[in-house]
Amino acid sequence: MTLAPSSRVQLTEDGKLRHFLTTEHLPRSLLEDILDTAASFVDVGGRSIKKVPLLRGKTVVNLFFESSTRTRSTFELAAQRLSADVLNLDIAKSATSKGETLLDTLRNLEAMAADMFVVRHQDSGAPFFIANEVTPNVAVINAGDGRHAHPTQAMLDMYTIRHYKGGFEGLKVAIVGDILHSRVARSQVHALNTLGAEEVRLIGPKTLLPVDAEALGATVFTDMAHGLKDVDVVIMLRLQKERMDSALLPSEGEFFRLYGLNNEKLQYAKEDAIVMHPGPINRGVEIASEVADGPRSVILNQVTFGIAVRMAVMSMAISGQDSAPAGGAHGS
Amino acid sequence: MTLAPSSRVQLTEDGKLRHFLTTEHLPRSLLEDILDTAASFVDVGGRSIKKVPLLRGKTVVNLFFESSTRTRSTFELAAQRLSADVLNLDIAKSATSKGETLLDTLRNLEAMAADMFVVRHQDSGAPFFIANEVTPNVAVINAGDGRHAHPTQAMLDMYTIRHYKGGFEGLKVAIVGDILHSRVARSQVHALNTLGAEEVRLIGPKTLLPVDAEALGATVFTDMAHGLKDVDVVIMLRLQKERMDSALLPSEGEFFRLYGLNNEKLQYAKEDAIVMHPGPINRGVEIASEVADGPRSVILNQVTFGIAVRMAVMSMAISGQDSAPAGGAHGS
Amino acid sequence: MTLAPSSRVQLTEDGKLRHFLTTEHLPRSLLEDILDTAASFVDVGGRSIKKVPLLRGKTVVNLFFESSTRTRSTFELAAQRLSADVLNLDIAKSATSKGETLLDTLRNLEAMAADMFVVRHQDSGAPFFIANEVTPNVAVINAGDGRHAHPTQAMLDMYTIRHYKGGFEGLKVAIVGDILHSRVARSQVHALNTLGAEEVRLIGPKTLLPVDAEALGATVFTDMAHGLKDVDVVIMLRLQKERMDSALLPSEGEFFRLYGLNNEKLQYAKEDAIVMHPGPINRGVEIASEVADGPRSVILNQVTFGIAVRMAVMSMAISGQDSAPAGGAHGS
C-alpha cells in the first residue's frame, strides 16, 4: 500500500486511522468508515443514557492554543459520551506554559499518560508537527489549524450531505464566502472529491478565492446566479468580521447584497437543495434568517451529527493506536 | 387543573416539575415534594460514596451569562453526585458566542443533546424566555435572574426552616436588608406564603423596601426592634457593596448600626429563633461575627441542604421531562 | 508515640497520613509507605483502562489561590484516575469570593461535603492553617505554599531516585540553583535526610543560598566543580525569571555560565549520575538541551511518577481520614 505524505502520518501500516489531521489524501474507504461509525453514534445522542464505555479510563486532552469555547465543548461532550476523562488546557490563557517550548509541553503531557490530544492552533500545520512528534500510543485530532484544515467539521458536513442526499454520486455542491481564509472549505473540497461528488464550486469575491482552486479540484465563480445554478447543496461559510477591516472585503451590507444567501438567491439552486453552515452564523451578513430558519436549512442537524462524527473519529483513532505495534508506523 | 401563568411553563400537564424558574404560583404540594425529595438526598452527602446514578448519561449545561463561581460550584457538585456529565459555559467570558444570538446559542446546545440548562442571567426573566423556547426534552433551572428570582436558594431556605422548625404553621419569618434588589427575598416570600407561614416581614430602610410588599403577601418594617419582635426565623440578606455608592444606602457603619444583626438585636426575636443568610456573608456589615458563628446560626447547614435541594430539583425536572409527551405542554 | 509539631497535624493518632503538608518531621516509614503505594499506581498509567475506583464518590476540590495550570492538571488527572469527582476553584481569578474570609470559603466547601482540598497558596503556611481548621473528615494536600514546601514534588523526586538508584543508602545528591526561594528544595532536603541519603549539597550563588543550610542538614557550595564532585543525583531547580530583575541574580547568560548544567559540568558528577528537574525547564538558562534531552536525564520520568505519587498521597490521606475517629487528632 503506497500512501500520500499526509496519510502516512494519519494511518497505521494496515490502513487504520491513528491521527485525524486532514481529509486530504485519505482513501475513500476510510472516510466512509468514519461516516458509518458516526451513524452508530447518532443513536447514542437520542438515548436516555447517552454514554458508551469505549474510551473509559482514557485521558483526552483538549490542547487549545487558540480559544474556542464552541469547538472545545463539542469535543468535550463527545469525549464524555465515550466515557473518557477530559483535561481542558487553554494554552492561550495559561501563563505557566510560557517560556516552555511546545515540544516540552507535549512531552510532559505524554509523560502523564495522555491518550489523545485534540489540538486547535492558529498556525497551519501545528497538529501535523505534533502528530509527527508524539509517542506512538497518543492520537492527535486536528480541531482546526490556521487556514489549513478542520477535518472533523468537514466530516460532519459529509455526514449531513450523505444523510439528506443518500450519497455523493452526481452531486453538485457550492461553498460560498471567504474561501481563501477558510480551513473548513479546504477540508470540505478534499472530502467531497474523495467521496465522489460530481462538482465542487467555490463562490466568492475574487479577493477571497484561492488561486489554486482548480488544483484543489474545484471550479470558481464570482457570482451567485451562476455558482448556485442547479446545485444540490449550498454550504455558506462564516464571515470573519476581522477580515472586514483588512480591505479584502466590501462592507457587510455590500457583501450580503452580493453573496448573502436569501430565499431569492436560493432559487438558483435545485428545489430540494439543502443549506449548510458551520456556525456560529452571522444573520444578515452571510445568511438571511429566512434561509437559516427555513425548511431547507440543516444547520442544527449538522451540530447533532457533529457530536457523533467526533465520537467516531476519537474512538477510531484510539482503536488504531491500540492496534498499532508500539513505535510501528511512527516517525517515518 | 387551571394553572397560573408561570406554573404553566414550569409544570407538565399532569402537574410534574419540568422547569424550575420561580417559587411563585407553584402548588404547595409541589414545593413539599421538592423538600421531601431533597430529604432523601441529604443522606447521600454523608455517605462514603456520595453518588447516585439518577442522571447517568445526561448532559447538564451550566449556562452562566453572569459569572458566579459559588453558585456554579453547587450545581456542578449536585450534578456530579447525580452522575450527570457537566459542561460549564461561562458565556460572560466567552468570546466565541459574541455576535451570536441567545436563541442560536440555545439551539446549538439543544442540537448537542443537552438535557438541562442551569441558567444564571443578569436580566430578569431570561430563564423564562429560555424555558419557553427550548425543545420539550430540555429542562431549565433558574440559578438567579436579575432582581427577579433565585428559586433553588429559596427552597434550600425552606428546607432549612422545616428542618429546624418542623414545619411552617404559625411561623413568623423576618427577611432583613436590601429587599428591593434581592431576587432571593422575592423567591422566599412566595415560598413562605405558599407553604403556610403565618407572617412574612420585610425589614430595611425605606429606600430598599419594595412598594408592592403587601401584594407580595408581606408586612414591611423600617426598624429592627419592631420587625424582629417574636419572629422564629431571621433571614439576613447579603448587602451588595456596589449599591453603597448609589446613594440608596447609608454608609456601611450606619447600615450595620441600624440593620446589622448582632446579639443585642437578636434578642428581639424568639429565644429559639434561627439565623439564616444566603452567603457569602459580609461580617460586620449585615451580620456580626458573634451571630454568624453563634449557636443560632444555621448558615452552613443551609449550604449542605443546598446541594440536596439542587439534586432534588434537577432529578425531578429530568424525570418530569422524561414523563411528558414530546411537545406536550410546550410553547403555549 | 511522640510527634514533632508538623507531624501532629499530618498524622492520625495511630500514625497514618491524614494531611500531606510537608516532608519535614515525618517518619521514614511513612515516606517509604508513600513510595511503595505509588509503585502500585505506576502500573495504572500503563493500563488500557487507567482508572481505579478508590476515590469513587469522593469530591476533590482543587483550591488554587495561586494559578498553576500544570500542577492543577497533575492533581486533576490523579483524582480522575482514582475515580474522584473534581471541582476546580481558581480563587485567584474568582470575583465571588472577594470580601469573604478564607475561613468562610473553607466552611462553605466543607458544608458541600468536600472530602479533600488540594491547596496552592502564595503564602507559606497557608495549607497548615487550613489543615488545622478543617473538619476532621477533610484531607488537605499541599500543592505548594510560598517559599515553604512542595511535598508531592519532593516525593515524586524521591520515587525517581529510588527507582534509578535502588535506594538512598550512600547517595550524594546535589540541588542546584535558586535554593533560597525554592519550596521544592526545602521539601527535597527534608525527604532526602529522612530517607537516609549520605549527603545533600546545595549549590548556587551566595545570594541564593539559605543561611540555615546546615541546620537543614545540607552542605553549601558556590561552585559547580566542587559541588557536583562525585554526586549520584543532580537536581536542577527552575530559575524564576522574575527574580532576575531583583538584583539577586546575575544575567541569564552569566548564570548559565556559572551554574547552568551542560555536559562539561556534568562530568564532575559520577558517570552514572541522573539529572532531574521539577519542570517546566528553561533551556539554556539553568540547563542545556544536551543534558535535558541526554541519556542521563530522567526529567520526563519524574512527570510520570508524579501522577502515581499524587494518587498515592490522595488515596492514603482519604483512607487515613476514614480510619480516624471523628474529631480524634483534630484541632490540637
pLDDT one-digit tens code per residue, A107-142: 999 999 999 999 999 999 999 999 999 998 999 999
Instruction: Judge whether B56 is closer than 8 Å to chain A, CB to CB.
Output: yes
Confidence (pLDDT) at A324: 60
A136–C contact, CB cutoff 8 A: no
Q: Does B300 touch chain C (CB under 8 A)?
A: yes
A183 is in an annotated binding site: yes
Residues carrying CATH 3.40.50.1370, chain A: 5-150+305-323, 151-298
What share of chain B has pLDDT > 70, as a percent?
91
**H helix runs in C280-331, sequence order:** 289-292, 299-323
* Predicted pLDDT at A87: 97
Select the more confidently predicted residue: C3 or C169.
Answer: C169
C5 band by pLDDT with thresholds 50, 70 and 90: low
Tell whether the model's pLDDT for residue C194 goes beyond 80: yes
Tens digit of each residue's pLDDT (9 = 90 or more) over B150-209 = 999 999 999 999 999 999 999 999 999 999 989 999 999 999 999 999 999 999 999 899
Each residue of C134-156: pLDDT tens digit?
998 999 999 999 989 999 999 99
Q: Is A56 known as a binding-site position?
A: no
User: How confident is the model at residue A247, as a pLDDT?
Assistant: 65
The alpha-carbon gap from C58 to the nearest alpha carbon of chain A, in Å, equals 16
Decide if pLDDT at A326 tops 50. no
Instruction: Identify from C56, C91, C108 which residue to disrupt to test chain B contact, counting B C-beta atoms within 10 A and taking the largest count.
Output: C108
Q: Identify the CA nearest to C289 among candidates A126, A103, A332.
A: A103
Confirm or reject contact between B326 and chain A (CB < 8 A). Answer: no
Q: How confident is residue C326, by pLDDT bands cut at 50, 70 and 90?
A: very low
Quote the pLDDT of residue C212: 87
pLDDT digits (tens, 9 = 90+) for C253-280: 899 999 999 999 999 999 999 999 999 9
Counting one residue from B and one from C, how many pairs have CB atoms under 8 Å apart? 73
Whether pLDDT at B331 is above 60: no
| Residue C296 is assigned to a ligand binding site | no
The shortest CB-CB distance from C56 to any of B46, B49, B74 is to B49
Residue C258 near residue C205, CB atoms below 8 Å: yes
Helix, strand, or coil (residue A209):
coil
Output DSSP code: residue C219. Answer: E
In the three-class reduction of DSSP (H, G, I as helix; E, B as strand; rest coil), residue C254 is classed as helix
Summarize pLDDT for B248-276 with one digit per residue, the tens: 677 888 999 999 999 999 999 999 999 99
| A205 has pLDDT over 90 | yes
Whole-angstrom distance, CA of residue B284 vs CA of residue B257? 10
Compute the average pLDDT of residues A258-275. 98
Question: What is the DSSP-derived secondary structure letter of residue C173?
Answer: E
Q: What's the fold here for domain A5-150+305-323?
A: Rossmann fold (3.40.50)
Q: Give the 3-state secondary structure of residue B143.
A: strand
Cell of C83: 475515580
Residue type, B154: A
C96 in reach of chain B (CB within 8 A) = yes
Are C97 and B70 within 8 A, CB to CB? yes
For residues C84 and C76, what is the distance between their CA atoms, to the nearest angstrom?
9
pLDDT of residue A46: 86
Residue A27 in marked binding region: no
Q: How does B292-308 read in b/e, with b if 16+ C-beta sit within 10 Å?
A: beeebbbbbbbbbbbbb
Residues of A in contact with B58 (CB under 8 A): 49-50
Q: Which long-range contacts (CB under 8 A, 24 or more apart) does B31-34 make?
A: B31/B155, B31/B158, B31/B191, B31/B194, B31/B195, B32/B195, B33/B316, B34/B155, B34/B309, B34/B312, B34/B313, B34/B316
Q: Which CATH number fits domain B5-149+305-323: 3.40.30.10, 3.40.50.1370, 3.40.50.620, 3.40.640.10?
A: 3.40.50.1370
Report, as an integer, the average pLDDT of C40-67: 94
Partner-chain contact C304 A108, CB within 8 Å: no
Axis crossing angle, helix C126-133 with helix C102-111, rounded to the nearest 10: 50
B93 interfaces chain C, CB cutoff of 8 Å: no
pLDDT above 90 for B60: yes
Is there a binding annotation on residue B279?
Answer: yes
Could you tell me which residues are beta bridge partners of residue B14?
none
* CATH 3.40.50.1370 placement within chain B: 5-149+305-323, 151-298
**A110/C contact by beta carbon, under 8 A:** yes
Q: Which of B57, B89, B104 sits opposite A69 (nearest CB)?
A: B89
Chain A residues within 8 A of C307 when measuring between CB atoms: 112-113
State pLDDT tens for residues A154-184.
Answer: 999 999 999 999 999 999 999 999 999 899 9
Q: Tell me if A112 and C304 make a contact (CB, 8 A cut-off).
A: yes
Q: Is A162 annotated as a binding residue?
A: no
List the beta strands (DSSP E) in A146-299. Answer: 172-176, 199-203, 219-221, 233-236, 274-276
C160 is in an annotated binding site: no
CA angle A182, A86, A327 (to 5 degrees): 80
* pLDDT confidence of residue B324: 60
Tell whether the model's pLDDT for residue B4 goes beyond 80.
no
Instruction: Specify the DSSP class assigned to residue A59.
Output: E
pLDDT for the residue B161: 98
The strand order across the sheet containing B233-236 reads: B219-221, B199-203, B172-176, B233-236, B274-276
What is the side-by-side order of every strand in the sheet holding A85-90?
A85-90, A59-64, A116-121, A139-145
Peptide bond into C280 cis (omega under 30): yes
Quote the minimal CA–CA distance from A219 to chain B in Å.
31
Picking from C87, C97, C101, the nearest residue to B76 by CB comes out as: C87
pTM: 0.93
User: pLDDT value at position B242?
Assistant: 65
The secondary structure element, H or E, covering residue B175 is strand B172-176
Q: How confident is the model at residue A224 (pLDDT cuts 50, 70, 90)?
A: very high
Specify the domain boundaries for CATH 3.40.50.1370 within chain C: 5-150+305-323, 151-302
Q: b or e along A91-101 (b: 16 or more beta carbons within 10 Å of the residue's beta carbon)?
A: beebebbeebe
ipTM of the complex as predicted: 0.92
Residue in the block written with cell 449545561: B61
Give B100 to chain C, closest Cα distance, Å.
26
Of A146-160, A233-247, B20-34, B86-100, the one with minimum mean pLDDT is: B86-100
User: Is the minimum CB–CB distance between C95 and chain B shorter than 8 Å?
Assistant: yes
Flag if A282 and B87 touch (Cβ within 8 Å).
no
CATH of B151-298, picked from 3.30.465.10, 3.40.50.300, 3.40.50.1370, 3.40.367.20, is 3.40.50.1370
Paired with B90 in beta bridges are B64
What is the per-residue pLDDT for A250?
72
Mean pLDDT of B274-282: 95
Distance of alpha carbon A33 from alpha carbon A159, whole angstroms: 11
Tell me what pLDDT residue B141 has: 98
In the CATH scheme, what is the homologous superfamily, with its name and number, of domain C151-302? Aspartate/ornithine carbamoyltransferase (3.40.50.1370)
Cell 483550591 belongs to C63
Place of cell 407538565: B12
pLDDT-derived band of residue B111, with 50, 70 and 90 as boundaries? very high
DSSP 8-state symbol, B183: H
